[in-house]
Amino acid sequence: MSEHEKHTEFLKRCIHYHESDRRLKLVEEIARLQCDMRCVRRAVWLMAILTALLMAGVGYEVILADNFPYNIPQFVINLICGLAMGILFSLLGFMGLGMVYRWKLNQRREECRELVTGLLESRLGKPVTAPVPDNRVGEEDASPVG
C-alpha cells in the first residue's frame, strides 16, 4: 500500500467519528474513486503490455526472421500501424483519466481534512500555538530572519 493510500485510509477512519450525512457521501465518493483508479491503472498496464508485445512481434519479424518478406501487403502494414496508434492513444487517454481521478480524490481528501479539523476543534477547542524557540548555533543575537 502506498503512502497516498495509507493517508487516505487514515482520513476515512478519522471521519467515521463525524456524525453527518456529508461523511457518508465522502466515504462513498472516495471508495468509488479508488475503484475507478484501480480500473484505470489496470487498463494502463494492459495497454503498456500490448504495446510491448506489438513492438516485440514487429522487432522479431524485422530483425530475427531469416525469411522476412519485404513485400508485405499494404493492408497488413496499415493494420499494424493502426493497432499501434490505437493502443498508444488509449494509453494516453487512460493516463489522462487516471490524473483526473487522482485530482478528484485529492479534492475529497482535502474535504476529509476539513471535516477532521472541524471535528477536532469542536471536541478539543482551538489549537494553541506556542512560539517556536530560536535555536541557532553560534549566534549571539537571536533576531528573527526576515
Mean pLDDT of 86-109: 92
CB atoms within 10 A of CB 25: 12
What's residue 116's pLDDT?
Answer: 85
Q: How far apart are the first and last CA of the chain?
A: 41
pLDDT at 68 over 60: yes
pLDDT at position 143: 58
Determine the length of the chain.
146
> Does a structural domain hold residue 130?
no
Average pLDDT over residues 73-102: 87
56: its cell numbers: 516485440
**Best CA proximity match to 28, nearest among 112, 116, 119:** 112
**Residue 131 counted as domain residue:** no
Whole-number pLDDT of residue 69: 66
pLDDT at 128: 74
Residue 72 included in any domain: yes
Structural domain including 113 reads: 3-124
- Per the structure, the count of domains in the chain is 1
* Rounded distance between C-alpha atoms, residue 57 and residue 48, angstroms: 14
CA-nearest of 33, 5, 41, 10 to 102 is 33
**138 found inside a domain:** no
The verdict on residue 96 lying in a domain is yes
**Residue scoring higher pLDDT (88 or 129):** 88
pTM of the model: 0.69
Residues 6+ apart with CB under 8 A from 58: 80
The amino acid that residue 122 corresponds to is: S
- Confidence band for 90, pLDDT divided at 50, 70 and 90: very high
Is 143 part of any domain? Answer: no
Closest C-alpha to 98, from 31, 22, 29, 44? 44
**Look-up: residue for cell 487498463?**
43
Mean pLDDT along residues 113-126: 83
